[in-house]
Amino acid sequence: MLKQAQGFTLIELTVVLLIMVLGFSAIGTNISSGNRSSQLKATARDLASALRYARGQALISHGEVSVAINLAENTYQVSNRDKVYHFSDEIDVTLVIAQDEFKDEDTGQLRFYADGSSSGGRITLEWGSLVTKVDVNWLSGKVEIRDE
């Protein structure tokens, strides 16, 4: 009695490979679209962290500490640090603060005071249809991130 060779035909292997390629391309498309969302959230978390740091420094030093946001250059900087942080060029930044807190047309600041309160405001980060807002409560200085 002869045993027949067992295995897959070339057509069967080709069909399986085609299905795998289609599956990976669908996954790749989903990952790249989610990449924007995760980058925007990471940027919002970094900004919120800088704002919380500034509030903590104001409480510790018993003085004012501010975070300046330059809308023209898409950057922000904490007043007691030299480092300038950059937003991605694809992210549009909108700043809603008191008129007195604008240094010039392009630069505004959120100020934190020794008692933990702040000048308050909202920073909106937009990347296409994705929107994330970072709110700073003027009374408590609390920083919150809201996804829209």
Residues 95-120 have pLDDT tens digits of: 999 999 998 889 999 999 999 999 99
CA distance 11 to 25: 21
Can you list the domains of the chain with their CATH numbers?
Answer: 36-147 (3.55.40.10)
The average confidence (pLDDT) of the chain is 90
CA distance 108 to 90: 20
Nearest of 61, 87, 59, 55 to residue 73 by alpha carbon: 87
Q: Which tokens go with 99?
A: 């008129």
Tell me the per-residue pLDDT of 51-108, one tens digit each, with 9 for 90 and over.
999 999 999 999 999 999 999 999 999 998 999 999 999 999 999 999 999 988 899 9
**CA distances to 16, 26, 103, 130 from 114, in Å:** 65, 52, 21, 35
Handedness of CA 79, 49, 45, 102 (dihedral sign): negative
Residue 68's contacts (CB-CB under 8 Å, 6 or more residues apart) are 76, 77, 79, 103, 107, 108, 109
E strand or H helix at 94, and its extent?
strand 92-96
